[in-house]
Structure 1
Amino acid sequence: MLDVRRMQLLRAVVTSGSVTAAARNLGYTPSAVSQQMAALEKEAGIELLERTGRGVRPTEAGRLLTDHAAAIGRHVAEAETALAELRAGRTGRLAVRYFATAGATMVVPAVAALRREQPGIRIELRLSDPEESLPEVRARGADVALVVRPPDHGPVDGIRFTHLADDHYLAVLPSGHRLAAKERLDLADLADEPWVGSDTPGPCLDPVLQACGAAGFSPDFVVESGDYATAQGFVAAGLGVGLIPRMGLGSRHPGVVVRAVRNPEPVRAVYAAVRAAAPTRPALSRLLDALREAAGNVTVHQSAP
């Protein structure tokens, strides 16, 4: 097998025209360079240099190896540049998993900001259930996943969570509902109402059930919609009332009114999940910063019902 370092030394000898000149330029002794050239010729199995007076010139095999050495040098330089870009966070790939309502409100502005700053980063986006996204992060299939989880939940092996936002639930009522005249509702005001469900059992429904329990009742779900847009349609049709998180109300149905609730106010916590042992990557750190900025903007701009 040919020694790449010796090939680069051959290139220096050919370029300078002599062993002595190459040794002087590289800070070696002429005998050391000659020994390396002899070793390279042994590896190649063919003569690479021939003497011309006080200098040397490459044989056909020597020119061949010199050309390849030049190509290798260019590839190494390109690799070093690419690694420097990656270390600086200007290139690379990030795989992001998110849930539906976080997409438009947090992921879109965060990714747009990152692409403006670092257009060389490739970002893979996929809508994913948290039960699937966390194992992906742990197994290195994804770099970050946005999830909803209770603040008091214990640690998850191999995962580090960064809090992004608290998403408050709001009451959604038919536009002609008797409670629509109130600016803010006590949660108990909805105790005797039929309810439209918008979440499947899990971390998004749990805050609603817990808050209703603290207010002294269990909601009577007469419709299970499974998504926030459909839930608003059922509410507008007068089938019941509901609680929808603020991030789920980006597009409001014209037939509903939205009111803040209290005593207590249900809240779901949104986190970014990354691999606990993941090395520090500038691109990932910047994406997390952008997600936090987007989450802050959601809180500021959606403060009114």
Structure 2
Amino acid sequence: MIDVRRLQVLRAVVTSGSVTAAAAHLGYTPSAVSQQVAALEKEAGIALLERVGRGVQPTAAGRLLTGHAAIISQHVAEAETALADLRAGRTGRLTIRYFASVGPTLLAPALARLRREHPGVTIDPKLTDPGDPLLDVAQGNADLAIVVRRPAEESHQGIRMVPLLDDAYRAVLPAGHPLSTQRVVDLADLAGEPWVGSEPPGPCLEPIIDGCAAAGFSPDFVAKSEDHATAQGFVAAGLGVSLIPGLGLAARHPGVAVRRVRRPEPIRKIHAAVREVSLGQPALRALIDALVDIAKE
């Protein structure tokens, strides 16, 4: 196998016209340059230089390898420039996993800010389920995932969980429901009501089930939807009551009343999941900062 560093020494000798001149340019001794060329000739299995007067000139094989050395040098320079751009956050690609209700309210404004600050970075957001994307992050298939974290969930090795938002669930009632006259609804007051499910099984449904259990009952689901807008439509039609997180109520149906819940107040904890090793990337760090700032707003 040909040593790339020795190729560059050969190129210096050919362009300089002598071993002595190449040694001066490279900061080596003439003996060291001669040894490098001799080793390269051994690797190539053919003579690369021939003496002409006090200098040297390349053989056909020497000219061939010198041409390739120039191409390699150019590619290395381009790679170094590209790497510097990537380190500085001027280029690159960020793959993001998110779930539906954080898309318009949290992720979209964060991505708009990222695009202003790092216009050369390609953004690849993909919709997924709240509990699924951690494996994508751990395996390097995603740079960042927005997830709902269970209260007792163990930390994943090598994954940093950045808290973004405690998203409280609200009682969603049909307009004119007797409880709509109250500013705050005790969760136990919904025990005898028919319920509309608003979440799929997993970390977003668990706060509802656990909250109802703490209030002494299990919700009687008469209709289910994994879409917050559809769930509001079912409630507005009088099918039942529901609990929907605050981020899922950005677009509110005119036929429902939304009230705070207490005793207890179910909450889903939203985090950004990233690999520890990736936190040095400027664009990824900027996205995390944007998500944290927008969540505070």
1:200 and 1:19 map into 2 onto residues whose CA distance is: 74
1:161 and 1:20 map into 2 onto residues whose CA distance is: 59
* Cα-to-partner distance string for 1:80-126 (whole Å, 9 max, x where unaligned): 22223333344333332222212222222223322332234333322
1:213 and 1:43 map into 2 onto residues whose CA distance is: 75
Q: Which moved more, 1:34-43 or 1:7-16?
A: 34-43
What code does the residue aligned with 2:280 have?
A: R
- The structural deviation recorded for 1:248 is 0.7
1:19 and 1:57 map into 2 onto residues whose CA distance is: 10
Q: Which moved more, 1:92-101 or 1:51-60?
A: 51-60
Residue 278 of structure 1 aligns to a residue whose secondary structure is helix
Is 2:260 the counterpart of 1:278? no
Identity of aligned residues (%): 65
Q: Counterpart of 1:300? A: none
Q: Contact 1:168–1:268 at 8 Å: present in 2 too? A: yes
Structure 1 residues 153, 24: closer, same or farther in 2, change over 3 A?
closer
Structure 1 residues 120, 212: closer, same or farther in 2, change over 3 A?
same
* Cα-to-partner distance string for 1:138-190 (whole Å, 9 max, x where unaligned): 33333332221233434345644222110011122222333333333333443
1:273 and 1:201 map into 2 onto residues whose CA distance is: 21
1:165 and 1:231 map into 2 onto residues whose CA distance is: 22
2:294 and 2:41 map into 1 onto residues whose CA distance is: 62
Structure 1 residues 160, 42: closer, same or farther in 2, change over 3 A?
closer
Q: Contact 2:187–2:215 at 8 Å: present in 1 too? A: yes
Q: Which moved more, 1:138-147 or 1:67-76?
A: 138-147
Q: Counterpart of 1:302? A: none
* Cα-to-partner distance string for 1:192-218 (whole Å, 9 max, x where unaligned): 332222123332222223333333443
What is the Cα-based RMSD across aligned positions, in Å?
2.6
Structure 1 residues 166, 45: closer, same or farther in 2, change over 3 A?
same
What code does the residue aligned with 2:198 have?
A: S
Structure 1 residues 231, 60: closer, same or farther in 2, change over 3 A?
same
Gaps of 5+ in 1: 298-305
Q: Contact 1:89–1:281 at 8 Å: present in 2 too? A: no
Gaps of 5+ in 2: none
What code does the residue aligned with 1:119 have?
A: P
Residue 141 of structure 1 aligns to a residue whose secondary structure is coil
2:294 and 2:162 map into 1 onto residues whose CA distance is: 14
Q: Contact 1:48–1:60 at 8 Å: present in 2 too? A: yes
Q: Counterpart of 1:49? A: 49
What code does the residue aligned with 2:108 have?
A: V
Residue 112 of structure 1 aligns to a residue whose secondary structure is helix
Is 2:125 the counterpart of 1:148? no
2:10 and 2:147 map into 1 onto residues whose CA distance is: 57
Q: Contact 2:131–2:148 at 8 Å: present in 1 too? A: no
2:198 and 2:225 map into 1 onto residues whose CA distance is: 5
1:158 and 1:11 map into 2 onto residues whose CA distance is: 45
* Cα-to-partner distance string for 1:209-231 (whole Å, 9 max, x where unaligned): 33333334433322222321111
2:226 and 2:46 map into 1 onto residues whose CA distance is: 75
Q: Counterpart of 1:95? A: 95
